[in-house]
Structure 1
Amino acid sequence: MAPVLETRGLVKRFGGLTATNDVSFRLERGGRHALIGPNGAGKTTFINLLTGVLTPTSGQILLEGKDVTHSRAELRVRRGLARTFQINQLFPAMTPLETIGLAVSERMGGGRDWWRVTGSKREIVDEIVDIARRFHLMDILDERTSNLAYGKQRLLEIAVAFASRPKVLLLDEPAAGVPEAERHELLATVAALPRDVSVLLIEHDMDLVFSFADRISVLVNGALFTEGTVEEVSNDPKVKAVYLGESVYE
């Protein structure tokens, strides 16, 4: 079966610095794939290339077999590629109800008049409720986002990405900054995402990686160092050597 997302020989240079070095990568349909690596390995640059924030120096990006290497970011979203960010991109004065409603209405073509469309279409209301339940947001739907616990803000950001009905969801360090007391809910919610959404997780937190991933790729100095199953990568002495002097997968 063809991968849902693929890169071929992907390179990104910033002057004399090669941030992404000949990366060929496959995300299988329905996959749960983690991308790990030391700080500065090039993980976020790679995600920015996938999503159209950056343009590669050379190489290809294919989404469901179609070349999107030079497609605009918004076109990639329409084709089914969604992401979250290390630092959330939410509107602090809006509520989860308004935020999810805006995302659903935008997908249905009513973004400009989302407040009117949301209240007038039963299918939008039903979808908002379904998403809010999935992401454990029902009891805070009318709270200002700025007042939410940080773990809830992270869940809301994933919910917004999920509302676009992605085929591929890129989660860029979703547990970053989330207090220990709130992490279990986030971990369980990420693990329960439906299998019709293929997920690439970029993460330092190996509890999240091990509870979620079927396959792991290790990026070092912008290049693909190794990849395999969770067991293969966690027992690979080369991987342990890369992290020597840090906590094993920091």
Structure 2
Amino acid sequence: MTALLETRHLNRMFGALQATTDVSFRLERGARHALIGPNGAGKTTFINLLTGVLSPTSGEILLDGKAITGMKREARVQRGLVRTFQINQLFGGLTVIESLALVVAERRGEGWNPFRSIGRARGIDTEIADLLRGFGLESVAGETCSDLPYGKQRLLEIALAIALKPRVLLLDEPAAGVPEADRQEVLSRLAALPSDVAILLIEHDMDLVFTFANRISVLVSGGLFAEGTVDEIAHDPRVKDVYLGGGQHG
């Protein structure tokens, strides 16, 4: 079966430093896949290669069986490869509803006029209402993004990513920095993401990883160190030694 997203022998050098080493990786359709590893393992570099922020020194990246290795970032998004960031990338001066309207309108190629009533945009108001409800943002729809509590900012960023209609969604530490009181809502919204979207979760929180993912890849020193089911990774003594801290998480 053809993977939805795949890398073949991916390498990235920064001068003499090998940041990504011969990574061959597969993300299946509808996957809930986590990418973990210690600090400095190369997770951010790998995600930047997938999304076109960086170009590989060698190797290949395929989306739905077609090479996207040299494709620009915007073109990858249009093909359905979307990411969130560890640090929020929001439209600070816009309201929640304006931000969603902007993304939905741009995705449809209709453009967005801030002076036009959102409700008059063809079908956009219905889609926005669904997103607001689906991510628990109805009560803050009219608030400016920069004024939102941090947990709501994280939810909005994920909502904006879903508004792009991704086939592959890369979530970079979606619960990072979220206060404990808001954390459960973020986790429940993640669990409810559309099942037809393949998700790669980059995360340090192993409780979240073990709850969310059904498959885990472990990156160490830029290379794939181990891969398997949640149970296989949780009980792999090699993984415990390099990452989990022997004896933790079963």
Normalised TM-score (structure 2): 0.96
| 1:18/1:222 contact within 8 Å kept | yes
| 2:55/2:69 contact within 8 Å kept | yes
Q: Report SS of the residue matched to 1:199.
A: strand
Q: Report SS of the residue matched to 1:183.
A: helix
Instruction: Provide the residue aligned with 2:6 in structure 1.
Output: 6
Q: Is 1:48 matched with 2:83?
A: no
Label 1:154 to 1:246 Cα distance change in 2 as closer, same or farther (>3 A).
Answer: farther
Compute the displacement of 1:111 (Å).
2.9
Which runs of 5 or more structure 2 residues have no equivalent in the other structure?
none
- Aligned residue pairs, count: 249
Q: Is 1:217 matched with 2:217?
A: yes
Instruction: Provide the residue aligned with 1:95 in structure 2.
Output: 95
List aligned pairs for 1:98-117, cutoff 5 A: 98-111=98-111, 113=113, 116=116
Instruction: Provide the residue aligned with 2:204 in structure 1.
Output: 204
Which digits, 9 at most, give the CA deviation of each residue in 1:72-125, with x for residues without a partner? 000000000000001001022211101111110000112353653844224110
| 2:240/2:246 contact within 8 Å kept | no
Instruction: Provide the residue aligned with 2:186 in structure 1.
Output: 186
Which digits, 9 at most, give the CA deviation of each residue in 1:154-193, with x for residues without a partner? 0000000100000000000111111111110000100111
Q: Report SS of the residue matched to 1:91.
A: coil
- How far apart in 2 are the matches of 1:142 and 1:114? 14
Tell me the amino acid that sits aligned with residue 174 of structure 2.
P
Instruction: Provide the residue aligned with 1:121 in structure 2.
Output: 121
Which runs of 5 or more structure 1 residues have no equivalent in the other structure?
none
Instruction: Provide the residue aligned with 1:141 in structure 2.
Output: 141
Percent of pairs identical after alignment?
64
- Root-mean-square deviation (CA, aligned residues, Å) is 1.6
| 1:172/1:201 contact within 8 Å kept | yes
- How far apart in 2 are the matches of 1:223 and 1:75? 27
Q: Report SS of the residue matched to 2:185.
A: helix
Compute the displacement of 1:247 (Å).
9.6
Normalised TM-score (structure 1): 0.96
- How far apart in 2 are the matches of 1:145 and 1:22? 40
- How far apart in 2 are the matches of 1:59 and 1:142? 46
- How far apart in 1 are the matches of 2:208 and 2:193? 13
